[in-house]
Amino acid sequence: MSQKKNPLKLNKLQLRTLALAQILAEMPDITRVDEKTGDTTLLQLPHAHGDHMHIGESVVSSRDASGLTNPAVWTALERKQLARQDTALTITLTPAGLAYDTGLGDRFLAPSPH
């Protein structure tokens, strides 16, 4: 039997935000991993400049990344036990949040032109 796509019924903004947070969670220079719980804390989030922001060596549209700075998105993800906002500056993804299949993968990333 196949698994249901998006079983927690995340909306499009929540899915995009979680997908981008999962990508950020793979960057060891901006994360801290709790080996006991498997939680990954994002110690910083990228800032938009103009119509895009940099994530590693790629860029993502500011529009696609708007949920990263939207407290309501993080509240919804926390309610679904995928993430939590520990402080105003840090976000933690739970193992469930890291493993959740958004179906988006690297869809928003493009090579940086500068």
- Residues with Cβ within 8 Å of 29's Cβ and at least 6 positions away in sequence, in order, are none
What ranges do the domains of the chain cover? 12-111
Tally Cβ neighbours within 10 Å of residue 112. 12
Give kind and range of the element (H or E) at residue 42: strand 40-42
CATH fold, domain 12-111, is Arc Repressor Mutant, subunit A (1.10.10)
pTM of the complete model: 0.89
User: β-pairing, 52-55 with 40-42?
Assistant: unpaired
Report, as an integer, the average pLDDT of 82-108.
88
C-alpha angle 78-81-82 in degrees, rounded to nearest 5 = 80
- pLDDT beyond 70 at 88: yes
- pLDDT category at 1 given cuts 50, 70, 90 is very low
Instruction: State residue 36's pLDDT score.
Output: 97
Distance CA 114, CA 33 (A): 30
Contact 84, 21 (CB under 8 A): no
Instruction: State residue 55's pLDDT score.
Output: 82
Report, as an integer, the average pLDDT of 8-14.
96
- pLDDT beyond 60 at 78: yes
- pLDDT beyond 50 at 58: yes
